[in-house]
Structure 1
Amino acid sequence: MTKDQRKLIRKLAIAIPVLVVALYFIPIITIVFLVCGLIDVLRNDRKDPRLFTLYFMGNGMFTWLLSPFNLLVDLLSYRNHGVWKLDQLPPDCRAEVEEVLGTFKERRNEIIADIDAAFGSGRRGMYVYQWYGKHKIDNVAEFNKDFKYVKTIAVSVFSGRESTSWHFGPLRLSLRVLYNLIPVNAEIFVQCGNVKNYWHDNPLFIFDDTLLHRSVNEYDGRRYCVFMDIVRPSPVPGLISALLALVSVSVERINSIFYKNWKMIGSSKPKKTEAA
């Protein structure tokens, strides 16, 4: 018996009795969460045992608990492509994304130098300019304003040969935008389900991070990726933005769990800035 098989048996030994007790004492609520979880997890294209194990008994459990809310958000939003192209975003949202990416492209060397000075050594780091609308580092003037759609602006840094495991994000109120600042022709990619995006082929990747995904750097050097969260495209963007603002405090606490292995670089107090 392999190590993974033993781990699965241990998880089942805990999960099955808990499920039986929940079905006995709170059957309706339990069934609702099971049904919502199944609808949610089946959105993924890699329907294999690992998907269901991770979602219901691994790092996707929090995504499962939020599945009723996420499915409601789906009803308030446009069709979710899973993996998106830039031209599939609404024009005003796309304009903001291009504006931020334009600044990163123009000031790339300066930004990377700032990151290296602050990051020092470590496996993974996040250099944060804005985090769910809260202003952090303010040394790039172009990022010191309140955007309508762009809510997180940061740079994700991986040291050489550093990768994430397969995992799920918690909330579907936003989309994740990644842009590699130094594409290298090596085994460096982001993968969402069956879609594997090598940065040297396409430096921009936009996706729904509540789908199963991972990020891999099998290169000896550092990998720098712009890391943005944008408001989910919707016919009622104001409502989605309001919901995102409402849960931003909780999201920040949730992310302290999701990013516990990361060195978060950013001021602790938000900056006052002019409105966009």
Structure 2
Amino acid sequence: MTKTLRKSLRQFVIAVPFLTLGFYFIPIETAVFIVLGLIDVLRNDNKDWGLFRRYFLGNGLFTWLLSPFNLLVDLLSYKNPGVWKLDQFPEDYQREVSEVLSVFKARKDEIIADIDANFGAGRRGMYVYQWYGKHKIDNVAEFNKDFKYIKTIAVSIFSGRESTSWHFGPLRLSLRILYNLIPVKAEVFVECGNAKNYWHDNPLYIFDDTLLHRSVNEYDGRRYCVFVDIIRPSPFPGLISALLAIVSVSVERINAMFYKNWKMIGSSKSKKVAAV
């Protein structure tokens, strides 16, 4: 019996009693959650057993439990293609993204040097300037203001030969923007659905991280990706932003579990990066 099959059987054995109790005590609510979860998970490309196992029994459990809220957010937002291009955003969203990315491009060497000085050893790290609107490291002046649409600004660091497993993000109030600072021609990519995005072909990748995805670095050196969360384009941006602010405390607690294997660097005491 393979390791994956053993894991699937173990998850199934654990899930059956909970579903049985749910259908016995709250049958309507349980049925509604299952139906909404199916609507949510079917947004993904590869509709195989692995997808459903991960979503209902594995690391997608929080995404499933939040599916009623996420589907409501979909109704309040513009159509979500899953993987986005920057020009699909409203112009004022585009301006904020371009503003932040232009700073990373112009000051790349300094920022990476500062990250290396603070990261030390480790498999994965997150160097955080802003996290859900809360200011953390303050050594790049351009990142110290409050943006209207961008709520998280960080850099994700992978050591050589380090990758994530397939996983789902929890909430669809925001979209994930990744920009690779040192694109190398190697097996270094982000994969969502049926498509791999190699950083040396396209250093900018924008996607809905509640879809099943993974990030891979099969390269001996470090991988540095700008990590930005921007609120979903919507006819009601103020409402989406307010909802994100309201749930940000809970999101941080959930993300503490999602990022338990990461070294989170978010102190204003980090060395200053000189202005240029």
Question: TM-score range with shorter-chain normalisation?
Answer: over 0.9
Distance of 1:38 and 1:136 partners within structure 2:
37
Report the Cα offset of residue 7 of structure 1: 1.5
Task: Give the match for residue 230 of structure 1.
Answer: 230
Give the alignment of 1:16-31 within 5 angstroms.
Answer: 16-31=16-31
In the alignment, what sits opposite 1:208? 208
Q: Secondary structure at the match of 2:35?
A: helix
1:139 alignment partner in structure 2? 139
CA distance in 2, matches of 1:9, 1:112: 44
Corresponding residue number in structure 1 for 2:49 = 49
Give the superposed CA RMSD.
1.0
Compute the displacement of 1:268 (Å): 7.7
Q: Give 5+ residue unaligned stretches, structure 2.
A: 270-276
Shift of 1:10: 1.4
- What is the CA–CA distance in structure 2 between the aligned matches of 1:81 and 1:91, rounded to whole Å? 18
Kindly provide the amino acid, as one letter, of the partner of residue 8 in structure 1: S
TM-score relative to the length of structure 2: 0.96
Q: In 1, distance between residues paired with 2:97 and 2:225?
A: 14
Q: Which runs of 4+ in 1 moved over 3 A?
A: none
Give the letter aligned to residue 72 of structure 1: L
State the one-letter code of the partner of 2:100: V
Cα distance in structure 2, aligned partners of 1:3 and 1:171: 30
Q: Aligned-pair distance for 1:202?
A: 0.1
Task: Give the whole-Å Cα distance in 1 for the aligned partners of 2:153 and 2:100.
Answer: 8
- In structure 1, C-alpha distance between the alignment counterparts of 2:100 and 2:6, rounded to whole Å: 47
> How far apart are residue 8 of structure 1 and its match?
1.1
In structure 2, what is the equivalent of residue 126 of structure 1?
126
1:91 and 2:91 are equivalent in the alignment: yes
Taking the aligned partners of 1:248 and 1:5, their CA distance within structure 2 comes to 36
Q: Which residue of 2 aligns with 1:218?
A: 218
Q: CA deviation at 1:51?
A: 0.3
CA distance in structure 1 between the aligned counterparts of 2:87 and 2:94, rounded to whole angstroms: 7
CA distance in 2, matches of 1:14, 1:144: 46
Cα distance, 1:5 vs structure 2: 1.1
| 2:273 maps to 1:243 | no
Q: Deviations over 1:185-213 (max 9, x none)?
A: 00000011112100000000000000000
Question: CA separation in 1, counterparts of 2:72 and 2:112?
Answer: 39
Structure 2 residue 30 is the aligned partner of structure 1 residue 3: no
Distance in 2 between residues matched to 1:184 and 1:93, nearest whole Å: 28
Runs of 5+ unmatched residues, structure 1? 270-276
CA distance in 2 between counterparts of 1:53 and 1:245 reads 31
Structure 1 residue 14, shift from structure 2 partner: 1.5
TM-score by length of 1: 0.96
What residue is the counterpart of 1:112 in the other structure? Answer: 112
What secondary structure is seen at the aligned counterpart in 1 of 2:233?
coil
**2-structure distance, mates of 1:169, 1:154:** 17
- Counterpart code for 2:60: G
Amino acid at match of 1:90: P
SS class of match (2:156): strand
Q: For residue 253 of structure 2, what is the amino acid of its counterpart?
A: R
Partner of 2:100: 100
SS of residue in 2 equivalent to 1:178: strand
Whether contact under 8 Å (2:115, 2:127) holds in the other structure is yes
The residue type paired with residue 93 of structure 2 is C
Find the residue that maps to 1:53 and give its secondary structure. Answer: helix
Separation of aligned partners in 2, 1:248 and 1:11: 29
